[in-house]
Amino acid sequence: EVQLVESGGGLEQPGRSLRLSCAASGFTFDDYAMHWVRQAPGKGLEWVSGISWNSVYIGYGDSVRGRFTISRDNAKSSLYLQINSLRTEDMALYYCVKDKRQSIVGATFDFWGQGTLVTVSA
């Protein structure tokens, strides 16, 4: 059974940093691209970032490019998101998401975690 368990969310002040983690199990982690998708309270889904199976190809949404960094450790079956220069508009539930493919091309999100909540407030 595929499991994606996010952690690292919490309350942080604007301008500070956070590192989200996602522990994956139930599938061969290094065979698939992975993504972060966020959802602000009561709002729609927003693709944040994606990384190919071998970390060669990485993409970011316009609103986070330059502030967020995605990475993965295939040996630990883990996905990460480093969030710098937090803004109030970054407040959202962050989902760790598995792709059906090895690459970001196509971006088909077949399994989702339950999310970790990031709250940004002074």
Partner 1 sequence: QSALTQPPSASGSPGQSVTISCTGTSSDVGDYNYVSWYQQYPGKAPKLIMFEVSKRPSGVPDRFSGSKSGNTASLTVSGLQAEDEADYFCSSYAGNDNVVFGTGTKVTVL
- Contacting residues toward partner 1, per CB under 8 A: 35, 37, 44-47, 50, 57-59, 61-62, 95, 100, 104-110, 112-115
User: Residue 65 Cβ, how far from partner 1 at the closest point, in Å?
Assistant: 10
Q: Which is nearer to partner 1, 15 or 26 (CB)?
A: 26
Distance CA 91, CA 18 (A): 12
Q: Which is nearer to partner 1, 23 or 58 (CB)?
A: 58
Angstrom CA distances, 62 to 26, 49, 66, 96, 114, stand at 32, 10, 9, 19, 24
Q: Which is nearer to partner 1, 18 or 37 (CB)?
A: 37
Token pair in block for residue 16: 């500070």
User: Residue 16 Cβ, how far from partner 1 at the closest point, in Å?
Assistant: 27
